[in-house]
């Protein structure tokens, strides 16, 4: 994937994660996972490794920030 397409794909993922976090932070994993999958599809970023989606959904569900592995104080 060319660099510009990667940047566009990354931006789509970031928008989907942001939307999902804003609407579903702290909710159950299954609810968050489904909402994230739908947001990714809505943004046109449906091609995301399932394990990555699982990890992001778990972070959103538990209220952890996606900050390189460091939790907010």
Q: What is the pLDDT of residues 47-63, one digit of tens each?
A: 899 999 999 999 999 98
In a domain, 70, yes or no: no
Ramachandran angles phi, psi of 59, nearest 5°: -60, -45
Contacts from 44-50 at CB under 8 Å and sequence distance 24+?
44/12, 45/9, 45/12, 45/13, 45/16, 47/9, 48/13
In a domain, 38, yes or no: yes
How far apart CA 15 and CA 18 sit, in angstroms, is 5
In a domain, 72, yes or no: no
In a domain, 71, yes or no: no
Model-level pTM greater than 0.85? no
User: For residues 62 and 42, is the Cβ–Cβ distance under 8 A?
Assistant: no
In a domain, 26, yes or no: yes
Model pLDDT, residue 46? 74
How many separate domains does the chain show?
1
In a domain, 41, yes or no: yes
Q: What is the mean pLDDT of the chain?
A: 88
User: For residues 64 and 25, is the Cβ–Cβ distance under 8 A?
Assistant: no
In a domain, 45, yes or no: yes
Domain containing residue 29: 3-62
């Amino acid at each position: 994937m060319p660099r510009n397409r990667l940047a566009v794909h990354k931006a789509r993922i970031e928008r989907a994660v942001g939307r999902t976090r804003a609407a579903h932070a702290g909710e159950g994993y299954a609810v968050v996972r489904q909402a994230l999958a739908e947001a990714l599809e809505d943004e046109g970023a449906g091609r995301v490794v399932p394990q990555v989606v699982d990890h992001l959904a778990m972070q959103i569900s538990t209220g952890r920030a996606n900050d390189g592995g460091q939790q907010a104080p």
